[in-house]
Structure 1
Amino acid sequence: MDACRLLVEGRVQRVGYRDWAVKTAKELNITGWIRNLQDGRVEILAAGDAGAVEAFTEACHEGPRAAQVSRVDVQAEPSPRMLKGFTKRFTA
């Protein structure tokens, strides 16, 4: 299982980006957590097979709200875990 942490920057809160990301993750058989950060970014912990995680990362750059995404910062996450403050869990 591969895992990563994505920090999505831009005007992505309150425009449906979070719901779109969860729907896309489920379609790709990705499991994880998602939350809005106070600074306007969306943070996603995503886990699944390597190909699915890569496809999800690419989708986060190119989704229906892509015009509002200014940057997606991706970091490897050795073991996805629930962290304090995450508001929405999604499962494959």
Structure 2
Amino acid sequence: MEKMLSNNSHCVVASRNEEDAISRARTDPPDVVLMDLGRGLKEHLVIAQRIRHNAGLGANVAIVLFGEQTIPEGAEVEVDRNIYATRPDNFSQLRDFLQRLLH
């Protein structure tokens, strides 16, 4: 994912856990946060809210919870204020969604 986004003109800074994401976002605030879901949606929503709060990110910074299995394939759902769950069919769909959020 990181390589595909980088190859599409996105500057990608990868974090391996919540604390690392908070630290990196404080140092270099992102335009968008993309989280790969390995847990349930509710748990990731709480983590996303903590990252936004503890890193001091404004509500204008979109957070995308990627790979949510409980929504239909191809869907993009706003689950909280500027926090989205998505299950793209392919990379192009994810890329296009991120472009819409960034512009």
* Same-fold call, TM cutoff 0.5: no
Structure 1-normalised TM-score? 0.36
Structure 2-normalised TM-score? 0.33
Which structure shows the bigger proportion of residues in strand conformation? Answer: 1
* Structure (1 or 2) with the larger CA radius of gyration: 2
